Structure 1
């Protein structure tokens, strides 16, 4: 038998999850086994998440998109967040992260696992604050690990743990000239705990304990970037790279225990540094799948950060990033609404698909070619059926109907498709 997908791959066992992934990703059996065994592909699939439809993240697979949601003390509507869950899946999200920091987090998490067919992630450090009701300083190491195990037992498929944010990294941070210090919420909580208690990061110091829990449930470890840059000024600086070096070391230790690993990355990165950031992660973290927030290519666009992130995400994914964490127009401003969420999902899905085309991923262009054929034939229903957002496309066309039904109001009778079709 086997303990995790990685363990199975090392033993040459082709699991039912791998069978689904191989078909969906058009990857051969031996190639998939090799890439999972070497850590280049992960299948986040907790043994207790019964309704999940397995998806792969990593080299040679389609770029995946994650949606963050959850409640805060200032905006605590669990029913509204559950509607977002249902809509996120409908809109094509591959994963959902519950980032709740207030209220009955366990009840919401359990309902998520019961209903969701997509991968689920959490940040246990958030829940520790919400659940324990203690001052951050008073949390014990056992408190933190108890929360981690509860999330695994509940059926969460991947956990963001900032295990690389150790004392060496903090020294780097203190000696840096960062404008935005720590922008990772989980990283800042952990940083505060370490400073107030004058202790090492418990997830770094007791890393083997963390790996034992993840192996038990086959939970993928998403090694968080507590020192990701929160501004383009801070991009690719000493603290960020120092933490990445530690994450590379922790990745190898996880693989030795057959624990699947993803690496989380920036953040805010100017366009000319994105490719080098992807290369650094793949080199320093031994080809582990890279999960990026954006990256956002400028700091000046609150209200439009789904666009700044889509630009960065497309470049990042074309250069090696495997998993895009969506960014909404509400980034930096408020908890996203349902409409914000949709805008973020569509922007990230477009970025991911554009990157798959640039990478020459097998079959990626089929979707575009089908759309182009329908467009050339002025087959509106065919175009709508292929749209990434059919609802919006239909609304736009319906809002301005032409005199001649086949064309649109942009060109009308001068439509080049119509004229070419009449002549050829």
Structure 2
């Protein structure tokens, strides 16, 4: 039996190879995965042309996934450095990589990443449009916007961020409701500018059915971008954000009618006390579609530490319904992240995702922590290192400050509580001063 997309297959009762792989990774039956994909509550981004992909599921009841952003720009156009980031992200087991390249040999870069990556690959096609056509923004045509999406589909991209919810009504909402930070989405601001300069509707909204046909052709998952996401905690939960979210919910249903998988993108900056309500509202308005959050950053005053502000928000967001976290690095708002920045961002996001998985009762999450606790109680350093989310750093920190007693660490020495209790409960004599 033939099928066009993972959703089409699921609705026809066809179990795909991707569904089998996701079921094994998640410890669920393939029938359960198939049912969730059919409902749209789980997406499996898997372009037919991405041959090296090891599929992942994103959505209800599954492990919280993380995405890593990278790519070349005019100011930082060293392709090899960005490919080093790809290799490192794969080694660190990031489930998704977004190539945000917008300068130079973008097509070559994109094809190379797709060929080498077992992780799902995402892009924001509008970033590529300006360089691809070598035109000013105002002179791009609606057809050209769509053709770039098709090119990314041909190249094997698994999911594309498309700001289709930024229609003329949303633009007027932004104008009527003053924000501190206006439109902070790069793709959203470009579309906003194009619409204003041409006095025209957003091509991705006006020709949405054609966009869906392209997505169905290659089985591209449509990541409906939040062009009007808040770029400051002051702008969170405002009229512009909610107006766009309502439209994204309507666009989700239209996509599902054509068997196109959907992920909804969510807020970037948001105070702690607003996150839970936003997650519930998103799931309600967008019919349970998987939710992808860009942070959210819970305070705006920590440049250089936004991997931390993001991890705090991401853990809360994922606890209350977000399924997919976009990593944020210490370089956020400051510069293009280097390799070390990327590593820190990945670790922070993985900690947030895992913390939420414990809260959500995801299979195997709490067991990992329990194994670490047992290793600590037994003072089994090698096992602790093996279980650590960042084994290299854990080993390095211990090696940098060797204790007198190998059982303990240099902070507590022989007064280590774990050492004390292990010896006493084993009936051994406890000697501290020798």
TM-score, reference length from structure 2: 0.97
C-alpha distance in structure 2 between counterparts of 1:234 and 1:419, whole Å: 52
Please list the CA deviations of residues 373-420 of structure 1 after superposition, one character each: whole Å capped at 9, or x if unmatched.
Answer: 111111111111111100000110000000111110111001111111
> 1:248 Cα deviation (Å)?
0.3
Which residue is 2:431 aligned to? none
Q: How does 1:37-116 map to 2 (within 5 A)?
A: 37-116=38-117
Cα distance in structure 2, aligned partners of 1:12 and 1:50: 23
Residue 27 (structure 1) shift: 1.6
Deviation string for 1:354-377 (max 9, x for gaps)?
000011112211111111111111
User: By how many angstroms is 1:133 displaced?
Assistant: 1.3
Aligned-residue offset at 1:28: 2.0
Which entry has the higher C-alpha Rg, 1 or 2?
2
How much does 1:104 deviate? 0.4
CA offsets, 1:117-141, max 9 Å, x none? Answer: 0000000000001211111010011
**What is aligned with 1:304?**
305
SS of 1:80's partner is helix
Which residue of structure 2 lines up, in the alignment, with residue 209 of structure 1? 210
1:23 aligned residue: 24
CA RMSD of aligned residues (A): 0.7
Report deviation, 1:193. 0.7
Instruction: State the 1:60 CA deviation.
Output: 0.3
Rounded Cα–Cα distance in structure 2 between residues aligned with 1:92 and 1:298: 28
Distance 2:385 2:150 in 1: 45
* Superposed CA offset, 1:218-271 (max 9, x none): 000000000000000000000000000000000000000000000000110000
- The separation in 2 between residues aligned to 1:358 and 1:410, in whole angstroms, is 31
Q: Report whether the alignment pairs 1:405 with 2:406.
A: yes
Query: Which residue pairs with 2:139 in the alignment?
Result: 138
Mapped to 2, the partners of 1:100 and 1:108 lie a distance apart of 8
Q: Distance in 2 between matches of 1:32 and 1:175?
A: 43
Distance 1:404 1:98 in 2: 48
- The CA distance in 2 between the partners of 1:168 and 1:100, in whole Å, is 30
* 51-60 vs 413-422, greater mean Cα deviation: 413-422
- Quick check: 1:36 aligned with 2:37? yes
Q: For 2:99 and 2:328, how far apart are their aligned partners in 1?
A: 15
Match of 1:337 in 2: 338
Unaligned runs of 5+ in 2: 426-434
Q: Which runs of 5+ in 1 are unaligned?
A: none
Q: Deviations over 1:66-123 (max 9, x none)?
A: 0000111111111100000000111121100001111000000010011000000000
Partner of 1:223: 224
Q: Deviations over 1:2-57 (max 9, x none)?
A: 11100011011111111111111112233212110010000000000000000000
SS at match of 1:328: coil
* SS of 1:287 mapped into structure 2: coil
State which drifts further: 22-31 or 376-385. 22-31
Partner-residue secondary structure (3-state), 1:381: helix
- Indicate whether 1:170 and 2:171 are aligned: yes
What displacement does 1:345 show?
Answer: 0.4
- Aligned partner of residue 103 in structure 2, secondary structure: coil
Q: What corresponds to 2:381 in structure 1?
A: 380
Between the aligned partners of 1:131 and 1:372, the Cα distance in structure 2 is 53
1:260 and 1:312 map into 2 onto residues whose CA distance is 26
Q: Aligned with 2:46: secondary structure?
A: coil
SS of the equivalent of 1:32 reads helix
2:430 maps to none
